[in-house]
Amino acid sequence: MAAVTVGDDAFVNEDGDTDVITPWSVQSKNDTGVDYDKLIKKFGSARIDDELLKRFEKVTGQPPHHFLRRGIFFSHRDMHTALDVYESGKSFYLYTGRGPSSDAMHLGHLISFLFCKWLQDVFDVPLVIQLTDDEKVIWKNLDLDDAIKLAHENAKDIIACGFNPDKTFIFSNLEHIGNNPAFYRNMIEIQKRVTFNQVKGIFGFGDSDPIGKISFPPTQAAPALSTTFPFIFKGAKVQCLIPCGIDQDPYFRMTRDIAPKLGIPKPALLHSIFFPALQGSKTKMSASEINSAIFLTDTPKQIKNKVNKNAFSGGQATVEEHRRLGGNCEIDTSYQWLKFFLEDDEKLEVLRKNYTSGDLLTGELKKELIDVLQKLISEHQARRSQVTDEVVEKYMVPRDLGFVLNK
């Protein structure tokens, strides 16, 4: 494993190997990936259990999203509190984000946005989406103007997920913060309450890191405070719910310590597992590793070639052995990706049984995945082609989203 600066968010698995979990790096030596049970214990969150799933269904009147049913969103902080707020006749809001380091997003970037779309539809609540172009200037050494352009390009892919324009505000940090005094005020409120030692411990920063990295976490924390957006919430102190990858949790553990000091509810969180690279679950998919990812700009032919050439197989070395011993779905990338994107529970279970028994070969399982991804991405590309610069501007203008605290 390559050397990585590790703060409090590294943990040791049962084999004594270190799984590295930070907002910028995810690495494991296990073929099945990160040990999520140990990660829950390390981070102090709670498992999304059957009781919570039943409550989701009771409150919303709809079956839980397949991301919830299949454990893709597997951990939470205070989700019961957010549901209490909703059941009491009040509203909460959603917050998620994207760090725009490239003009093409990949499948892994879609997970939180697809889930947020479902949550927005089910609960009929506002959503704020932060584009951390400032973070990428610092971490990736991007030019400021180039980072803003990437933010606008990524916004088109995000909008193509189908968010309600009347209830969704998307913003670039570099463009918005300077025009929103309330945002900067909350950043300062957070900055003065977090020590240098605390931020180093939470995020693993080293003495040679730019001071921009050390000062960045309050920028990502501030949107979890409703007073950051007076044009939406009009000063009301509103419950926030954040669906995100669990690697982003350190930002919001910090925020949850500070929010009560400002008289604001602690943000609730729903954590997703990591979307594995094509090569397997030891790392998450990365935009910087072209062959590890399926991009939203890929053609049907590129999707087919990438899956066939690079998707890690849980099958046996020969057809004869596979028929006799069967495949391992726990490490097979095609099956793991189908858990994310094949919505039909019955079909997924048939594929699992047939692959495990050896009746279904690796090539046949890859074909199932290719069909699903080609359809998903072609439909996304069609919607994105309709997202003009004018449409992006509509989402990015600070405005009243019709928020009413008491429904």
What pLDDT shows up at residue 106?
94
When pLDDT is cut at 50, 70 and 90, the band that residue 292 belongs to is confident
HEC-encoded secondary structure of 7-59? CCCEEECCCCCEEEEECCEEECCCCCCCCHHHHHHHHCCEECCHHHHHHHHHH
Domain that holds residue 379: 287-384
Q: In the chain, what percentage of residues exceed pLDDT 90?
A: 82
Q: What is the pLDDT of residues 252-280, one digit of tens each?
A: 999 999 999 999 999 999 999 999 999 87
When pLDDT is cut at 50, 70 and 90, the band that residue 202 belongs to is confident
What pLDDT shows up at residue 280?
79
Q: Give a yes or no: residue 65 inside a domain.
A: yes
What pLDDT shows up at residue 405?
84
Q: Give a yes or no: residue 398 inside a domain.
A: no
Q: Give a yes or no: residue 151 inside a domain.
A: yes
Identify the domain boundary among 227, 242, 277: 277
- The answer on pLDDT for 150 being more than 50 is yes
CATH number of the domain that residue 115 is part of: 3.40.50.620
Q: Are residues 227 and 325 both part of a single domain?
A: no
Q: Are residues 266 and 320 both part of a single domain?
A: no
How far, in whole angstroms, is CA 121 from its chain's centroid?
18
Q: Are residues 300 and 257 both part of a single domain?
A: no
CATH number of the domain that residue 312 is part of: 1.10.240.10
What pLDDT shows up at residue 11?
46
Q: Are residues 172 and 218 both part of a single domain?
A: yes
Give the C-alpha separation, 329 to 31, whole Å. Answer: 11
What pLDDT shows up at residue 1?
25
State which amino acid sits at residue 376.
Answer: L
When pLDDT is cut at 50, 70 and 90, the band that residue 19 belongs to is confident
Q: In the chain, what percentage of residues exceed pLDDT 70?
A: 90
Q: Are residues 21 and 122 both part of a single domain?
A: yes
Q: Are residues 179 and 208 both part of a single domain?
A: yes
Identify the domain boundary among 258, 277, 296: 277
Q: Which ranges of 223-289 does DSSP label H, i.e. alpha helix?
A: 230-233, 249-258
- The answer on pLDDT for 29 being more than 90 is no
What pLDDT shows up at residue 17?
53
Q: What is the pLDDT of residues 320-332, one digit of tens each?
A: 999 999 999 999 9
Q: Are residues 313 and 201 both part of a single domain?
A: no
Are the beta carbons of 211 and 199 closer than 8 angstroms?
A: no
Give the C-alpha separation, 325 to 317, whole Å. Answer: 10
Q: Are residues 253 and 291 both part of a single domain?
A: no
What pLDDT shows up at residue 12?
45
C-alpha distances in Å from residue 366, one per residue of 107, 312, 335, 336: 16, 10, 8, 11
Q: Are residues 197 and 81 both part of a single domain?
A: yes
Whether this prediction's pTM lies above 0.85 is answered by yes
C-alpha distances in Å from residue 233, one per residue of 16, 113, 188, 404: 48, 22, 20, 8
Q: Give a yes or no: residue 158 inside a domain.
A: yes
> How would you class 176 by CB atoms within 10 Å of its CB: exposed for 0-12, middle for 13-18, buried for 19 or more?
middle
DSSP letter for 248, please: G
Q: Give a yes or no: residue 271 inside a domain.
A: yes
What pLDDT shows up at residue 8?
46
- The answer on pLDDT for 113 being more than 50 is yes
**Once rounded to an integer, what is the mean pLDDT over residues 141-152?**
96
Three-state DSSP at 72 gives coil
Average of per-residue pLDDT values in the chain: 92
Q: Are residues 296 and 259 both part of a single domain?
A: no
Q: Give a yes or no: residue 42 inside a domain.
A: yes
Tally the domains of the chain.
2
What pLDDT shows up at residue 13?
47
Q: Give a yes or no: residue 403 inside a domain.
A: no
Q: Are residues 265 and 347 both part of a single domain?
A: no
Which neighbouring-strand residues pair with 239?
none
